[in-house]
Amino acid sequence: MSLVIKEFGILKEEPGDIGLEIEVEGSNLPICTKYWRNERDGSLKGEETAEYVLSKPGNLEHISNALQYLDDLYTATGTRVDNSVRAGVHVHINCQRLTMTQLYNFITTYLILENLLVRWCGEFREGNLFCLRACDAEWLLSVIRAAALDNRKRFRQSFHRDELRYASMNLKALGDYGSLEFRAMRGTRDLGLIYKWAETLFNLREFACAFEKPTDIIEQFSIGGINNFLERALGNNTGMFLDGVADYQKLLWDGMRNAQDVAYCCDWQKFEPKMRKVGGVEFPDFLRPEEINEPLEDV
């Protein structure tokens, strides 16, 4: 099986792990020309509105620097950020170089955690029409399953649908940018929270890609237990998401049932990459020639 960049028809590979879009309603909103683009969003209302879009995706250090710069501008201009049901934060996590199995690992992991994560994202985010969870729109699971079961493997056609845009995990972004877009985070003046959210989503990608297939993630949850799974998936941020959430175990079990529908929908062996020989050594067929020519260790 080839990579996301090929299956979704991405013409140009973009570097950088994380992209950010921050919607704001408030007052004294600064013009930001370093790190960010200033854009308008017609869905926002209020005294002043702005959308700060990261000029280019970056790693966690780049995200931290960009948010610190915006925070300094907020302080200098006396910015007020309103707690609005309309304003949110959208985080793009680059999936272009993931195999399709790794992509489904990522999707499965997020579905397990989705109810807990969205609860943390804000009181107006659960059931919000701009960031629907799988439990709000169960047909989303049908779309994800159907794409995996499609023997023609037309992932771009399956996911490139406008109705998918407004899910907590926006699958349409895969065909647009080669990323999964996460739309659940509320607008907030605390840019440190936005960094923690972006960091968590990036770490979930890394956690998910360590598994061979989605069913292994379900088994890890079942065998290791909820708390062990949370500590492995969320790391140092675990306590932040559990603070004050008495029913977190129910949220996780409900999410796991949604994830099961995806993880057990097909035989993941069919996604194993075909191998080809180059110089007597076998390589997955999704590797580009220049990658094969690079020195490899332990071959």
| Residues in contact with 209: Cβ distance below 8 Å, sequence separation at least 6, in sequence order | 98, 102, 105, 106
Which pLDDT belongs to residue 40? 87
279 falls within a domain: no
pTM, two decimals, is 0.90
282 falls within a domain: no
217-231 pLDDT, tens digit each: 999 999 999 999 999
290 falls within a domain: no
28 falls within a domain: yes
59 falls within a domain: yes
Strand residue runs (E) in the chain? 18-27, 36-39, 48-54, 80-81, 88-94, 169-170, 179-186, 275-278, 281-284
148-167 pLDDT, tens digit each: 998 667 888 899 889 899 99
Domain enclosing residue 139, as ranges: 4-271
38 falls within a domain: yes
Instruction: Reduce the DSSP state of residue 111 to 3 states and report it.
Output: helix
DSSP-assigned letters across all residues of 193-241: HHHHHHHHHHHHHHHHHTSSSHHHHHHHHHHH-HHHHHHHHHGGGHHHH
267 falls within a domain: yes
Based on the structure, what is the number of domains in the chain?
A: 1
What percentage of the chain exceeds 90 in pLDDT? 77
Q: In whole angstroms, give the CA distance from residue 36 to residue 48.
A: 18
Which pLDDT belongs to residue 296? 39
285 falls within a domain: no
Instruction: Reduce the DSSP state of residue 36 to 3 states and report it.
Output: strand
Which pLDDT belongs to residue 236? 95
Q: In whole angstroms, give the CA distance from residue 75 to residue 269.
A: 53
